[in-house]
Structure 1
């Protein structure tokens, strides 16, 4: 049954992806109204996140950002559909990267850990291999969380690997990367690190968008374990259907930093990116459901 669902999803997703983007954006504009006004998809979460993150902004501006987020979220949906059949030529034109020469120079002698957030179209970032100097001894990919629905999980894995990116399940990340090093293969691996970790993974807190926030420390830990350079991907939307991302080197010597300092630096950089154009971050994610106060309480109870 699960194989049948996979092929059915694959067929309809592929057929929809063959539509030109301008037509898909027409459907995106139509989708916005029921999503925002009728279904009101996670509107309470979005509104709460925006109001708490930007207490200095007037209500009228916050509502404008809120509506712009939902418009963009609909665009993200149709752009992800389009990714299913987008050609390499189209992708090279629509998703561009700056600082590529620097990264190509680094990966001649070091691996790279790449920080990014759920900002702009993070699915299109999987096209990185099209822009780097690819060889048989170089791996480019991303860490991912398994989707509960097996058919959708398989579809997303297929889509994310269309442009030669490797998908590595989060809990297997260190094992895979150590193996690459043993095989004398260089890697650049992306970590989307702006989600809220489960209590078992909460190790540090920092100020982020007017909240005391915890971040996954996996990217920093792996960078130190593999002595990889740490790079931040600063993404911006140029216009509808076009993005540009700059590789920003944070450090080539992660072991010289105290624990969690690199993660705090990432949080600061991501906040600067979000404040520049807040409508393109994933505000519908319940980012602050685990509070610092609750953390202190749990810590004291377990002491």
Structure 2
């Protein structure tokens, strides 16, 4: 049974309900202005964004990197407008705006009673991709997430996602949840492209031409559960329209060499990023950790 979004409820604060009453084109205009203020006046994460782009694209000139940075703020303004709009949007409208390709890759496995690990990245409007997956798949969609530092913002984001039937599992509890509910037929989704904490298991590999730490957790979970793993590539085709393509990542029965799972994931993330560099999360401190001299591939 597919999820049907709940109607707008008091779970959303007054300002969300007020903004959601506006037509989407007006929301786009409003958040474009806000994105400009955040970039030019507040300069929120501007230095981090520029530093990351300098690191990732040293072969490009400063003007090209600056253009990507400006477009990145515009992208997040559009994404914010779309998330607000989704608090009132119908299932039919959302699924008209997010087109799935090769969804049978998931459906066939789930229909056979096989849970699936789904990996994606912080690319394009990943929230709409998450909502649309829960709205169309017909099986539970559980998503690992890390609570935000702001409790108020965290409540709003959780309410937005839960409206579409997305079940949120704190990332720190994900492995125990997987083992306790191992036989439950569902999708377990993770966005694992951001920098892991130093206390977390890491795998070091080359990403965008430099040493980069990735979470080792998804690979460990795939080994522990032997679930099939699927990657979802999300691309914006034009404003408010997306294509989500399901791609095979690993078969649960396959005996992969250590690190190969994470390597495959990193290459898929990298391909999406290079295809649309302005739609990734450059404001995140992706390279805040330096690989220790002599460190093993996995730490």
Whether these two folds match at TM > 0.5 is: yes
What's the offset of the Cα at 1:90?
1.5
Q: Which of 76, 94, 98 is 2:101 aligned to?
A: 98
- Kindly report structure 1 stretches of 4+ aligned residues shifted beyond 6 Å: none
What's the offset of the Cα at 1:8?
8.8
Name the residue aligned to 1:75: 78
Are the structure 2 counterparts of residues 87 and 8 from structure 1 closer, same or farther at C-alpha, using a change threshold of 3 Å?
Answer: closer
What's the offset of the Cα at 1:259?
2.2
How do residues 1-303 of structure 1 correspond to structure 2 at under 5 angstroms? 10-109=13-112, 110-127=114-131, 128-132=133-137, 134=138, 138-181=139-182, 184-253=183-252, 256-292=255-291, 295-296=292-293
Specify the SS of the correspondent of 2:266. helix
What's the offset of the Cα at 1:141?
2.0
- Mapped partners of 2:253, 2:60: distance in 1: 37
Name the residue aligned to 1:4: none
Residue-by-residue CA offset, 1:104-127 (whole Å, 9 max, x unaligned): 111233211111111111111222
- Mapped partners of 1:157, 1:243: distance in 2: 22
8 A Cα contact 2:201 2:217, kept in partner: no
What's the offset of the Cα at 1:179?
2.6
Residue-by-residue CA offset, 1:4-62 (whole Å, 9 max, x unaligned): xxx69622212211211100011122123222221112111111111110111122211
8 A Cα contact 1:180 1:187, kept in partner: no
- Mapped partners of 2:171, 2:254: distance in 1: 22
Are the structure 2 counterparts of residues 239 and 155 from structure 1 closer, same or farther at C-alpha, using a change threshold of 3 Å?
Answer: same
What's the offset of the Cα at 1:147?
1.7
User: TM-score, with normalisation over the residues of structure 1?
Assistant: 0.89
Are the structure 2 counterparts of residues 29 and 152 from structure 1 closer, same or farther at C-alpha, using a change threshold of 3 Å?
Answer: closer
Where in structure 1 are there 5+ consecutive unaligned residues?
1-6
What's the offset of the Cα at 1:166?
1.0
- Mapped partners of 2:160, 2:97: distance in 1: 17
What's the offset of the Cα at 1:83?
2.1
Specify the SS of the correspondent of 2:59. coil
Richer in helix (by share): 1
8 A Cα contact 2:231 2:249, kept in partner: yes
8 A Cα contact 1:126 1:141, kept in partner: no
Name the residue aligned to 2:4: none
Specify the SS of the correspondent of 1:296. coil
Name the residue aligned to 1:3: none
- Mapped partners of 2:11, 2:103: distance in 1: 38
Report the RMSD for the aligned CA atoms in angstroms.
2.0
